[in-house]
């Protein structure tokens, strides 16, 4: 009996061309390519955007000279960089992606950020697929802000297809973003940006 392995729907270059066409044809369309599957990413709502603004301000105040939170930057993800993800934001040096295209090399990234949306596949995407892809990529910290559960999770210590350390706290508790980020978030304000 022959067992067929899952194969990607297309090559990364083919996906990138398709994503460019989709973005040009329909305003707000953002496609990702994770585990060889194409998925659309929800258009952020006002509260979602406000959370990213808050986090950008916190990061700029904590480390103004060496870090910047880059919203919506596409990255090459997964073990062999064949996936394409669009985190809600990535934390890196201000000039980390200068001269690169739509899908950047993830090596300079210290942290990726996802804020959950209200679509039906948010759990699978943000709690299962994205942590696996980001861990495989070797990104040191994954920050997940889950608006439905009113929880914030910090994934760290990537080991192959998973993060060895995951800490989850309810909104309102302070949570430390470990090395190499080294910032403590005071999350009480997140309670204002949920439905």
- Condensed to tens digits (0 to 9), the pLDDT of residues 92-116 reads 999 999 999 899 999 999 999 999 9
Residues with Cβ within 8 Å of 124's Cβ and at least 6 positions away in sequence, in order, are none
In whole angstroms, what is the distance from residue 20 CA to residue 162 CA? 30
For the chain, the structural domain boundaries read 44-193
Q: Which stretch of 10-19, 51-60, 71-80, 88-97 has the lowest confidence by average pLDDT?
A: 10-19
Q: Is the link from the previous residue into 152 a cis peptide, with omega within 30 of 0?
A: no
pLDDT mean over 178-185: 96
- Cα separations in angstroms, 24 against 15, 21, 29, 104: 14, 5, 8, 20
Write down the CATH number for the domain with range 44-193: 3.90.1570.10
In whole angstroms, what is the distance from residue 80 CA to residue 107 CA? 13
CB atoms within 10 A of CB 26: 9
Looking at residue 18, its pLDDT comes to 83
Q: Which stretch of 10-24, 75-89, 123-137 has the lowest confidence by average pLDDT?
A: 10-24
CB 132 within 8 A of CB 144: no
Looking at residue 117, its pLDDT comes to 86
Supply the DSSP string of 8-74, one letter for each residue. -SS-HHHHHHHHHHHHHHSTT--EEEETTEEEEPPPP-HHHHHHHHHHHHHHHHHSTTT-EEEET-E
pLDDT mean over 73-84: 89
In whole angstroms, what is the distance from residue 58 CA to residue 55 CA? 5
The pTM assigned to this predicted structure is: 0.89
């Amino acid at each position: 009996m022959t067992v067929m392995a899952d194969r990607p729907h297309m090559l990364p270059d083919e996906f990138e061309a398709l994503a460019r066409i989709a973005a040009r044809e329909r305003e707000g369309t953002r496609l990702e390519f994770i585990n060889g599957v194409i998925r659309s990413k929800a258009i952020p709502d006002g509260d979602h955007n406000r959370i990213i603004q808050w986090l950008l301000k916190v990061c700029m105040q904590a480390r103004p000279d060496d870090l910047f939170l880059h919203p919506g930057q596409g990255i090459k993800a997964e073990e062999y960089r064949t996936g394409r993800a669009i985190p809600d934001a990535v934390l890196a040096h201000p000039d980390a992606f200068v001269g690169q295209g739509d899908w950047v090399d993830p090596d300079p990234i210290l942290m990726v950020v996802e804020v959950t949306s209200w679509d039906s596949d948010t759990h699978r995407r943000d709690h299962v697929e994205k942590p696996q892809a980001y861990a495989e990529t070797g990104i040191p910290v994954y920050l997940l802000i889950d608006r439905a559960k009113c929880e914030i999770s910090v994934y760290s210590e990537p080991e192959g297809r998973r993060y060895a350390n995951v800490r989850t706290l309810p909104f309102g508790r302070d949570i430390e973003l470990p090395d190499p980020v080294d910032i403590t978030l005071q999350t009480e304000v997140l309670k204002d940006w949920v439905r």
